[in-house]
Amino acid sequence: MTLINDAFWTLRVDPLRPIPIEPVEPGDFIHELSGNILCSTEEDQRDRIAGRFRVYYANFELAENHGVTAFEVLDAYQHTFDYAETVLDSDERPFSTRLYKLLANEIWNFNFLILDRVELLPKYRGNGVGLLILSCLIERFGSGAGVVGLKPFPLQFEPRHETESWNSRLKLETYSTDVQKSTRKLRRYYEKLGFVPMKSTPFMFRSLSWALPTSLELKSQDG
């Protein structure tokens, strides 16, 4: 069986925190969306957890309407604040001149999507599955955004608790122990979706105005 061709893939979003009718705090303008990646087959129609995901959507336009700066929005989480210096201009407005140049000035909206993490269990990796999931996250959660960013950092080098059952199921210890080699491999992987690395930073970006590869093209990719 080829998983990407013979399986059914869905996303199940975790319960969201309440959204205030009148946003006040900077954190009210950035939304964390996380959940499970599910897989089923014709033979076994039960949804099985194949992985997890987490994205952040920074609504800079709405924040500006309420007198909140883009810098304050990104400062709501450490994961998102790390992007501030790269994506914001000196006046703390999106997007930086450097980012415009990187993306050939093709930025038409001013909100920002961050693909924070995608984790797939070993049996579901390969055959372009990861690329299909990433493409789906961009399409489903990127509406109204001008830029999507990510940080290609190999998960096996993150601090983790060995007792956590999810981490043990990921079997990260089977991956390369060479940080630079693993990071280069991830960058090449994300480049298949049109992400462009920004020099002297750990980040990669793509414009939401750029067409994503078709599902047929993704299925031909070796994940």
- Dump pLDDT digits (tens) for 69-90: 999 999 999 989 999 999 999 8
Distances in Å between the Cα of 32 and the Cα atoms of 64, 93, 205 are 19, 21, 19
Whether the per-residue pLDDT at 181 is higher than 70: the answer is: yes
Helices vs strands, H then E, count in the chain? 10, 7
- Dump pLDDT digits (tens) for 115-161: 999 999 988 888 788 999 999 999 999 999 999 999 997 666 566 65
- What pLDDT is attached to residue 146? 98
- Dump pLDDT digits (tens) for 92-114: 999 999 999 999 999 999 999 99
Tokens 């987490």 map to which residue? 54
- Dump pLDDT digits (tens) for 10-58: 999 998 888 889 998 999 999 999 999 999 987 777 889 999 999 999 9
